[in-house]
Structure 1
Amino acid sequence: MRLFILGSAAGGGFPQWNCLCHVCRLHWSGDPRVTARSQSSIAATADGVHWLLLNASPDLRAQIMASPPLMPSCGADDAARRASPIAAVLVTNGDVDHVAGLLTLREKQAFDLYGTEGVLGVIADNPVYSVMDPACVTTRPVQMEQPFEPVPGLTVEIFPVPGKVPLYLERGEIDVGAEGDMTVGVRLSAGGRTAFYVPGCAFVPEHLAARVAGADVLLFDGTVFVDDEMQRAGVGAKTGRRMGHMPMTGEGGSIDAFDGRDVGDRVYIHINNTNPVLIEGSDERRAVEAAGWRVAHDGMEIVP
């Protein structure tokens, strides 16, 4: 199994195009301690030929251009005119930063689109996604905890994690932390190795911590360092938890949630532009590294 980080930032990317928070200011001023990141998405393969995208970021075209494994290849069939290694896409929720990139994949390329019935229903209800030709794109609803093989040799299983509906579907009182078909985590396995991808999670219940025990790799929600980070940065009123993302630190944070668990490589992904772990050498970066975590960056490759 081979994992490739296409994008490691949360919605809006880093730096966010209109943001002057402390961390974004460092980038605009050319500070070498920070590196630009695109919006969250990863790719996985078991054979090095057929790739599964996990979430389709709005930055997908640029991500493909920067990722040789996902570029079209002449290969053995020189007559091919549409020849992407991307054979399938799995979306973990309906957030804009996870589904808008599907519009980039509209150019008559055959692939399978996987997701829960709820998330695929949200996509189907938006007429803009009809640009994906159904003669090329096969929509495949998947059930919780039912393994399937979207690309050769790679077994995938989805499971519910605490989350919420996408922002654009919020109406009235919001049930943050609900476990249903609108936010899922993903288990990937091949060659006796196992990886989990959970880019959005409101909190870690015991059954989730137990599920990932023994994993070779855990790619987990690293949106904010502290829950009120956006408020402290002066760029928003919502807490991380209100957005459906638990903080790394503090009471009920993800570092504590997985402390002492039998998990191999721990990597934070989906990192908000306000998160100071983006600053190399910062106290916050050192704190997460001391706790046994790495901070994902675009182009990172992981071979469990």
Structure 2
Amino acid sequence: MLIRILGAAAGGGFPQWNCLCRGCETSRSGKATSLTQSSIAIQSQNGDWFLINASPDVRLQIEQMRAQQCFVETSRRSLPFASIVLTDAEIDHTTGLMLLRESSQPLKIYASTSVKRALTTGYPLFSTLQNYCGVEWLPLDLGQSIAIAPDLEMEAFPLSTKPPKYMQGEPGSQEIWGVGLTIRDRYTHGSLTYAPGLATIDEAMQRRFDASDLILIDGTFWTNDELPALGIGSRSALQMGHLPLSGKEGSLAQLAQLKTPHKTLVHINNTNPILIPNSLERQIVESQGIEIGFDGLMFTL
């Protein structure tokens, strides 16, 4: 399978339109590479592409793929993805669905029942899209392997019980709202684990990562108090459902113990100093053999 990072930034992109932090200003000056918002795409051996999360930047991401002749166009209004997979119901991972409303066929969307409910009631994208191209919902059940192509099987696993803000008044605080994905190629036996939002790495998660050839993992924040320290937010990284990279309990220390061949950070917030070339934080990450993801980065497994 072929994996392409469409957007490596967290919500808001890099630079973020209303932010004057060091990273955003470095990007605006042309000294740091800009990034679109979190999403990846997977291609099977038969040529079909699968979109994992639909960011607000999906139109630009599709055009970037088209410019590199990633798609075999079959009609004047073809939908370039065989199906779409949503790991959560966050605005940053779902708003792009509205930009796909001009599809000539219903959008086939894999999502959990929690996500389906959120996108039907709290943020009614599914309900709205039914009046445009239509939606065919395909259940994404935890622990169940789903064949999304003859050569690809996908398994969802739990990551987060944190609901999106627009659903926080809903009951069921222990409900799973965010999932990760392990996608395996039946022919090459290559495996990818994708975890763009990660609050903890327990033993089960370590085993899953170690069994993967590539992990694309949450790199949102460098420190737990990153936003409060900058005076641009009140919640810590952990309160937002993201394990920070640094510190004794941070993800870098745990990633260093993994035998996984390829470890790449995605969903990186605009305030994270690893996005600044030659920063000390970036050097620390790269010295540990961990790659900092960027738009257009591709892997073959």
Corresponding residue for 1:281?
278
| Structure 1 residues 263 and 255, CA gap change in structure 2 (3 angstroms) | same
Corresponding residue for 1:27?
27
Letter in 1 for 2:52: L
Structure 1 alignment gaps of length 5 or more = none
| Structure 1 residues 128 and 138, CA gap change in structure 2 (3 angstroms) | closer
Corresponding residue for 1:194?
191
For 2:104 and 2:143, locate their aligned partners in 1 and report how far apart those are by CA, in whole Å.
29
Corresponding residue for 1:294?
291
Corresponding residue for 1:8?
8
For 1:87 and 1:132, locate their aligned partners in 2 and report how far apart those are by CA, in whole Å.
17
Whether the 8 Å CA contact 2:38–2:267 is kept in 1: the answer is yes
Q: What fraction of aligned residue pairs are identical, expressed as a percent?
A: 35
Matching of residue 113 in structure 1 with residue 114 in structure 2 = no
| Structure 1 residues 272 and 173, CA gap change in structure 2 (3 angstroms) | farther
Matching of residue 82 in structure 1 with residue 80 in structure 2 = no
Alignment of 1:53-202 (within 5 A): 53-68=51-66, 73-75=72-74, 80-110=75-105, 111-125=107-121, 126-133=123-130, 136-171=134-169, 180-190=175-185, 191-202=188-199
For 2:157 and 2:82, locate their aligned partners in 1 and report how far apart those are by CA, in whole Å.
22
Corresponding residue for 2:217?
220
For 1:136 and 1:47, locate their aligned partners in 2 and report how far apart those are by CA, in whole Å.
27
| Structure 1 residues 109 and 137, CA gap change in structure 2 (3 angstroms) | farther
TM-score normalised to the size of structure 1?
0.90
Q: CA deviation at 1:12?
A: 0.5
Between 1:105-114 and 1:40-49, the stretch displaced more is: 105-114
Aligned residue for 2:12, secondary structure, equals coil
Letter in 2 for 1:18: N
Whether the 8 Å CA contact 1:13–1:38 is kept in 2: the answer is yes
For 2:15 and 2:46, locate their aligned partners in 1 and report how far apart those are by CA, in whole Å.
31
Question: Of the candidates 183, 199, 202, which is equivalent to residue 205 of structure 1?
Answer: 202
| Structure 1 residues 207 and 128, CA gap change in structure 2 (3 angstroms) | closer
Whether the 8 Å CA contact 1:45–1:51 is kept in 2: the answer is yes
Question: Of the candidates 215, 227, 233, which is equivalent to residue 236 of structure 1?
Answer: 233
Q: What is the CA deviation profile of residues 116-137 of structure 1, one whole-angstrom value per residue up to 9, with x for unaligned ones?
A: 1111111122444334248753
Whether the 8 Å CA contact 1:106–1:131 is kept in 2: the answer is no
| Structure 1 residues 173 and 107, CA gap change in structure 2 (3 angstroms) | closer
Corresponding residue for 2:49?
51
For 2:46 and 2:26, locate their aligned partners in 1 and report how far apart those are by CA, in whole Å.
37
Provide the alpha-carbon RMSD of the alignment. 2.1
Q: CA deviation at 1:107?
A: 1.2
Aligned residue for 1:207, secondary structure, equals helix
Whether the 8 Å CA contact 2:65–2:71 is kept in 1: the answer is no
Whether the 8 Å CA contact 1:117–1:181 is kept in 2: the answer is no
Q: CA deviation at 1:142?
A: 1.9
Q: CA deviation at 1:145?
A: 1.0
Letter in 1 for 2:83: A
TM-score normalised to the size of structure 2?
0.91
| Structure 1 residues 109 and 198, CA gap change in structure 2 (3 angstroms) | farther
Q: What is the CA deviation profile of residues 77-125 of structure 1, one whole-angstrom value per residue up to 9, with x for unaligned ones?
A: xxx3432330111100111111111111111343410011111111122
Letter in 2 for 1:10: A
Letter in 2 for 1:55: N
For 1:296 and 1:167, locate their aligned partners in 2 and report how far apart those are by CA, in whole Å.
27
Whether the 8 Å CA contact 1:64–1:70 is kept in 2: the answer is no
Letter in 1 for 2:116: L
Aligned residue for 1:287, secondary structure, equals helix
Q: What is the CA deviation profile of residues 196-251 of structure 1, one whole-angstrom value per residue up to 9, with x for unaligned ones?
A: 00000111122111122121100000000111111222211111111111101113
Letter in 2 for 1:6: L
Structure 2 alignment gaps of length 5 or more = none
Matching of residue 303 in structure 1 with residue 300 in structure 2 = yes
Letter in 2 for 1:146: Q
